[in-house]
Every structure is written in C-alpha cells, then in structure tokens.
C-alpha cells in the first residue's frame, strides 16, 4: 500500500487536499533522504501553485498544524519551515 494511502487512512483525510499531498511528498523526502533535506520554498515545495487551502503566507501555521497532526516533532517542523534552507544558504555563502 502506498505511503499516501496509509497516511490518508491513519489520519482520516477524506479528500486528496493540496496540504495532504504536500505532507505525502515531504514524508517521502524524509524517508528517502532524511529530515535534513526537506524545506518549504517560496512556492510551497515546488508545486506550480500554493496549496489551495493556503490563501496567503499568514496561513502557514495551517501547514504546521497538519504536520504536527501526522506526527512530525517540533525539530523536524522547524527544519522544514526554514532551518534547512537557512543551513543550506549559510553553508553556500560560508557565513
């Protein structure tokens, strides 16, 4: 059974919402490459447009709530929401 199907069943997602698909994508990233890799970008993780449920940047806490609801700990959420990107930029610029 694909991981998205298990997540959908376990956390009672009735629909394939954009946030649900983002969570599936990021869980896969973590399973493949570890929690030091995923990071939200200015376009919300490479999607062609932001998740439908997020109208503006002020609603980013909604993504955080969903990540926490599926079991992400505070450190992993923090890495995804900016710490991983900041580390990459600092290492790239050697600052």
Task: Sketch the domain layout of the chain as residue ranges.
Answer: 3-93
The pTM (predicted TM-score) of the whole model is 0.75
pLDDT value at residue 1: 45
Q: Tens-of-pLDDT digits for all 95 residues of the chain?
A: 456 667 666 666 666 677 887 888 888 889 899 999 888 865 555 555 667 777 777 888 888 988 898 889 999 999 998 899 888 888 888 75
Please report the pLDDT score of residue 73 as a whole number: 95
Residue in 33, 32, 28, 50 with CA at minimum distance from that of residue 41:
50
Listing DSSP states for 17-62 in one string gives -HHHHHHHHHHHHHHHH-TTS----TTTTT-SS--TT--SGGGHHH
């Amino acid at each position: 059974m694909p991981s998205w199907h298990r997540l959908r069943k376990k956390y009672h997602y009735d629909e394939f919402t954009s946030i649900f698909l983002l969570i599936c994508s990021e869980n896969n990233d973590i399973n493949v490459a570890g929690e030091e890799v995923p990071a939200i970008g200015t376009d919300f993780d490479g999607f062609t447009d932001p998740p439908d449920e997020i109208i503006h940047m002020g609603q980013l806490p909604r993504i955080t709530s969903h990540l926490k609801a599926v079991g992400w700990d505070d450190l992993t959420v923090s890495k995804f929401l900016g710490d991983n990107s900041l580390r990459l930029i600092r290492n790239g610029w050697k600052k």
